[in-house]
Amino acid sequence: MDLVVARPEGLYCTAGDFYIDPWKPVERSVITHGHGDHAHTGNEHYLAAAPGEGILRTRLGQDINLQLLEYGEVLQHNGVTLSFHPAGHVLGSAQVRLEYKGEVWVASGDYKVEPDGTCAPFEPVRCHTFITESTFGLPIYRWQPQAEIFEEVNQWWRANAEQGKASVLFAYSFGKAQRLLHGIDASIGPILAHGSVEPLNRVYRDAGVYIPETQYAGDFKKTDPALRNALIIAPPSAGGSTWMRRFGEYSDAFASGWMRLRGTRRRRGVDRGFVLSDHADWPGLLWAIEQTGAERVMVTHGSVEVLVRYLRDIGLDAQGFTTEYGNEEEPQEVAS
Ligand SMILES: [Zn+2]
Ligand SMILES: [Zn+2]
């Protein structure tokens, strides 16, 4: 029998009798990271990588029953050896390594292969079977180095500031927002954060990640001169809301891997799109899969069919896994 199978509640470890990122409440859950489609409330017991503690408690509740392991630390449960390894996706994100009777499986959760300084970089883990995401699993997705994207953001912000306009940058509250704050040139002007972004900034700072000083955007009025060269970081759901009126004249932009698709920017109705993703691009997915040495690959969310077909063509035993992982970067998603 397979060590991990897809069940109606989530990915299930048969020998260990626990779930990985279950989307329905279960007794024992192992959580790869704090994004809403992977970390749900209502589980009796949570196990996660220690660097994600602040995120999980902020998002799921301070009083969840949470057990923590450092990256690489080993736990035995029902004969299964479990450990977490960095996934490079967001603060605390982990791949789950499971070993049972000499058979090794790794469930990646979401991952990104370019290190970004806001979380431990992705570490390939050797295994027999690799469970991979495929959010951007199409050959058209090839990211530019992030330094180039940050330079584009800086230039846009600087140009707006010179014209006396605020710059509103939409980004997902957890992960993308902090990565942008970490990477941009904070000397251009004041930085304001939406109320859904600020608590997560605090968690990152507490974890020792450099996040420049931010002020609460809600404290500012249209007439405030500070807004004329300010950068405002807000979740996409704030776009078009009355919350935006306080910024007077502004330019807006959206940072997401989906900005690779022109149609997405048009639908969003923003002035600029910055192609910045916290997921592996097509070459990144293929590199990561190769690094594991796995002969068998299970593909979860994203472009499952395309990636499965490609992997079979190169001689791997690949198949899709049906899951309910949406994804935090879905263009239609309105939640922050
Ligand atoms: Zn994620
Ligand atoms: Zn995901």
Give the Å distance between the CA of 329 and the centre of ligand 2.
8
**192 and 295 assigned to the same domain:** no
Nearest-CA neighbor of 216 among 244, 193, 189? 193
For 8-34, b where at least 16 C-beta lie within 10 A, e where not — what string?
Answer: eebbbbebbebbbbbbeebebbbbbbb
Give the Å distance between the CA of 89 and the centre of ligand 1.
7
Q: Residue 60's pLDDT is what?
A: 96
With respect to residue 333, please indicate whether it lies within any of the assigned structural domains.
no
Nearest-CA neighbor of 275 among 127, 159, 144? 144
- Local structure of 217: helix, strand or coil: helix
Task: Supply the CATH number for residue 65's domain.
Answer: 3.60.15.10
pLDDT tens for each residue of 116-172 = 999 999 999 999 999 999 999 999 999 999 999 999 999 999 999 999 999 999 999
Q: Which domain range does residue 285 map to?
A: 4-141+278-320
What's the order of all strands across the beta sheet hosting 45-49? 4-7, 10-13, 18-20, 28-30, 45-49, 66-69
Give the Å distance between the CA of 75 and the centre of ligand 2.
24
Average pLDDT over residues 99-103: 98
Q: How far apart are CA 25 and CA 265, in angstroms?
A: 36
pTM for this model (two decimals)? 0.94
Number of domains in the chain: 2
Nearest ligand (C-alpha, residue 135): 2
Nearest ligand (C-alpha, residue 278): 1
**88 and 235 assigned to the same domain:** no
Give the Å distance between the CA of 256 and the centre of ligand 1.
13
Give the Å distance between the CA of 143 and the centre of ligand 2.
18
**234 and 168 assigned to the same domain:** yes
- Local structure of 159: helix, strand or coil: helix
Give the Å distance between the CA of 326 and the centre of ligand 2.
6
Nearest ligand (C-alpha, residue 34): 1
**121 and 203 assigned to the same domain:** no
Most confident of 236-240, 260-264, 270-274: 270-274
Q: Residue 279's pLDDT is what?
A: 96
**pLDDT averaged over every residue in the chain:** 94
Nearest ligand (C-alpha, residue 21): 2
- The length of the chain in residues reads 336
**23 and 170 assigned to the same domain:** no
Average pLDDT over residues 284-306: 95
Nearest ligand (C-alpha, residue 92): 1
Amino acid identity of residue 227, one-letter, is L
**49 and 64 assigned to the same domain:** yes
**71 and 122 assigned to the same domain:** yes
Region of poorest pLDDT, from 30-34, 97-101, 199-203, 267-271: 267-271
Asked if residues 231 and 251 have their Cβ atoms less than 8 Å apart, the reply is: no
Q: Residue 328's pLDDT is what?
A: 62
Query: Can you state the angle between helices 198-206 and 176-183, rounded to 10 degrees?
Result: 70
Nearest ligand (C-alpha, residue 89): 1
Nearest ligand (C-alpha, residue 35): 1
Nearest ligand (C-alpha, residue 94): 1
- Which of 274, 304, 328 is the C-terminal boundary of a domain? 274
**135 and 18 assigned to the same domain:** yes
Give the Å distance between the CA of 128 and the centre of ligand 1.
24
Q: How far apart are CA 202 and CA 55, in angstroms?
A: 10
**50 and 135 assigned to the same domain:** yes
